[in-house]
Amino acid sequence: MSEPALQVVPEVKPQGVPEHHFSLSGSLQWFLSVIVIATFVMTFIVQAFVIPSESMENTLLIGDYLLVDKIDYANGGFWSPLLPYTKIKRGDIVVFHYPVHPQQHFVKRVIGVPGDRIRLRNKQVFVNGQPIVEPYTIYQSSQINIYRDDFPTTKYIDGNVDSRWWIQMRKLIDDGDLIVPEGNYFVMGDNRDESLDSRYWGFVPRENIVGRPLLIYFSVRRPDDEAVETPQNAKLSRLVNGFKRVFEDARWHRMMKLVR
């Protein structure tokens, strides 16, 4: 089972304009101001991502385009006196740098915060000895995978488990519970049987967390494989199909939907 990283939606940057095309008029100043503000917002406040896997279904679907709030969970820095930052809580959905390959982004739900004791028994999650209610979860397999569904265990291992995590995990188990260390978070996907999450590669350090998904601004169903095209009509056909998919495959009911 492999899980692709979140895809960053590329930023559209304005092309340079020859100096002789414009005078420095009020309209040009306004245009440049908009560009500066937009660049500031996309750099420091929000970032766009697209969901590439089913690990957070049905909360987030493949083809959902997200705006991620980078301010809410920001930790200190220049903005501390001006903006109230939110403490990360159990149940929050977070976007973070994947600890195994930090250049990739993942999105999961926080299940355990520092100091929590985590265990799963027959797919049921217990935090600090208490079963938690998770109306957002789905299960696609009726079969029991002992490592995945009775976590943590040292008697069985899954082929998707990171070897470094397997060694570290064994040192953090106490009386059948996994202890979440200070400065770290235990995360899982809502689609529990199809999510490579903290069970397989470990905790998310606080500094890896980028922000929280704010809303779905666009959503499209996974496109079917394109038919083989001849060189003469390939570009035109691809363009026509692209516009067609916007209207036929778009999930209009999910657009501008807040992520919870």
- Which active-site residues does the annotation give? 55, 108
Q: How far is CA 173 from CA 26, 155, 164, 181, in A?
A: 65, 13, 15, 11
Whether residue 201 contacts residue 99, with contact meaning beta carbons closer than 8 Å, is answered with yes
Instruction: Determine the Cα–Cα distance for residues 123 and 244; give it in Å rounded to an integer.
Output: 42
Q: Which residue has the tokens 């985590």?
A: 118
For residue 233, count other CB atoms closer than 10 A to its CB: 10
Whether residue 140 contacts residue 167, with contact meaning beta carbons closer than 8 Å, is answered with no
Whether residue 255 contacts residue 217, with contact meaning beta carbons closer than 8 Å, is answered with yes
Whether residue 178 contacts residue 117, with contact meaning beta carbons closer than 8 Å, is answered with yes
Whether residue 6 contacts residue 95, with contact meaning beta carbons closer than 8 Å, is answered with yes
